[in-house]
Amino acid sequence: MPFTVQLAPLHGVTNRHFRAAWFAHFGGFDSAMAPFILAVPGSSVRKTHFKDVIPQPELPIPLVPQILGNEGASFADSARVLRDAGYGEVNWNLGCPYPMVAKKYRGSGLLPHPDRIDRFLDTVFRAGDVPAVSVKIRLGRADVEEWRSFMPVLNRYPLASVTIHGRVGTQMYRGSVHLAEYAEAAASCAHPVIGNGDVFDLPSFRATQTAFPNASGWMLGRGALYDPYLPSRIRAYLDRGLDGALSRVDFPKPGSVAWLAGIAPFHDDVFNRYRSVLFGPAHVLDKMKEIWTYLSYWLPDGKRYMARLARVRGLEEYSMCVDELLRR
């Protein structure tokens, strides 16, 4: 089975407008996962609820919708809507770390309750007529050992894959992944495992291959937004069999003038898309500033640049500020 690289679902960021712009300018991914939509019962289904995952023919790779919920019947209803839209796979979000989600026993809030996970999956698979189901998890909500209770439950069902993020929910995205538990959880999983967490460059990707030799793929989130060339760097590394000679993968150095020149067309594309669909400059600026919290990661003066962007209030001022950086 070939190793796959997948775009992670970053809620509020990797939406359909971002995806359309990103995949028009960068490559390296084999598939993308859409940010979650809430599971809704069949009686409450509205087309607008699924607007972010209306099929995008312009995408060169498959898109996997993700559903957040804690009731199997509602999940199955939503999955059938997505099946009818042409999707062959849906993902169950069991990893969302945000407290407002977890306290409702959704996302990582369900991980301490393997009995509820069991009932959920039993309901989904008994319902029938649903597309393939994959699951995205963390090692636990607050306890790094929680996976030992819920992994046997996941192993009993015919899941397409399990994506494992190597933190617990209460960590959010802080601190380091728990490598030993991460590796042990992956080894105990009966399904294809996709790794997720803290791959920001080629050396860190190579380290994950060493730590998780049986992984069938990797999901990139922040790392791909920090450096949109990273998926292509990884793909070139995998395809060429470079034996660790990382310098032979030829893409511009992150943060360099050449790198910024390559980022510019993507930036302009997503900026124009948001200008055409969002009402008012404040909404556009909010979206673009959030994107820059990632793109500024490799800039030598990234913190100073973000402080300047924070003071920008109009689209013309924003364009002048960004042009100075991208076209210097």
- Tokens representing residue 245 in the block: 């000679």
The residues, any chain, with a CB within 8 Å of residue 134's CB and separated by 6 or more, are: 64, 89, 90, 91, 92, 159, 160, 161, 162, 163
Residues 222, 240: Cα–Cα separation, whole Å: 25
Q: What is the pTM of this model?
A: 0.93
Check pLDDT > 70 for residue 243: no
Q: For 236-249, what is the mean pLDDT?
A: 64
* In a shared domain, residues 233 and 138: yes
* In a shared domain, residues 235 and 100: yes
Q: For 178-205, what is the mean pLDDT?
A: 94
* In a shared domain, residues 67 and 103: yes
Cα 200–chain centre separation:
14
Any idea which of 112-121, 139-148, 149-158, 240-249 has the lowest mean pLDDT?
A: 240-249
Domain boundary among 248, 270, 297: 248
* In a shared domain, residues 168 and 104: yes
Q: Are 296 and 302 in contact (CB under 8 A)?
A: yes
Whole-number pLDDT of residue 241: 63
* In a shared domain, residues 24 and 111: yes
The residues, any chain, with a CB within 8 Å of residue 129's CB and separated by 6 or more, are: 80, 83
Q: What is the pLDDT of residues 9-65, one digit of tens each?
A: 999 999 999 999 999 999 999 999 999 999 998 766 777 889 999 999 999 999 999
End-to-end CA distance of the chain: 44
3-state secondary structure of 89: strand
Whole-number pLDDT of residue 328: 63
Compute the C-alpha angle 172/166/25, nearest 5°: 80
* In a shared domain, residues 296 and 228: no
Domain boundary among 202, 228, 248: 248
Q: For 82-101, what is the mean pLDDT?
A: 96
Residues 230, 227: Cα–Cα separation, whole Å: 5
* In a shared domain, residues 136 and 224: yes
What's the mean pLDDT when you consider all of the chain?
A: 93
Q: For 189-205, what is the mean pLDDT?
A: 95
DSSP string, 257-318: HHHHHHHHHHHHHHHHHHHHHSSSHHHHHHHHHHHHHHHGGG-TTHHHHHHHHHT--SHHHH
Q: Are 200 and 168 in contact (CB under 8 A)?
A: no
* In a shared domain, residues 244 and 153: yes
Q: What is the pLDDT of residues 276-304, one digit of tens each?
A: 999 999 999 999 999 999 999 999 899 99
Compute the C-alpha angle 251/165/79, nearest 5°: 100
Residues 276, 293: Cα–Cα separation, whole Å: 22
Q: Are 219 and 199 in contact (CB under 8 A)?
A: no
Check pLDDT > 60 for residue 248: no
Whole-number pLDDT of residue 242: 53
- Tokens representing residue 123 in the block: 């309901």
Check pLDDT > 50 for residue 247: no
Let me know if 140 is exposed, middle or buried by CB neighbors in 10 A (0-12, 13-18, 19+): buried
Let me know if 166 is exposed, middle or buried by CB neighbors in 10 A (0-12, 13-18, 19+): buried
Q: Are 127 and 73 in contact (CB under 8 A)?
A: yes
Q: Around 193, how many Cα atoms within 13 Å sit in the side-chain half-sphere?
A: 26
* In a shared domain, residues 78 and 203: yes
Domain boundary among 248, 276, 294: 248
Domain with residue 153: its CATH number is 3.20.20.70
Please count the structural domains in the chain: 2
Check pLDDT > 90 for residue 2: no
Residues 3, 33: Cα–Cα separation, whole Å: 16
* In a shared domain, residues 159 and 120: yes
Q: What is the pLDDT of residues 76-89, one digit of tens each?
A: 999 999 999 999 99
Whole-number pLDDT of residue 244: 47
Query: Which is it for the CA torsion 210, 212, 215, 217, positive or negative?
Result: negative
Structural domain for 290, as ranges? 257-326
Query: Which is it for the CA torsion 40, 41, 45, 50, positive or negative?
Result: positive
* In a shared domain, residues 214 and 271: no
Check pLDDT > 70 for residue 178: yes
* In a shared domain, residues 201 and 269: no
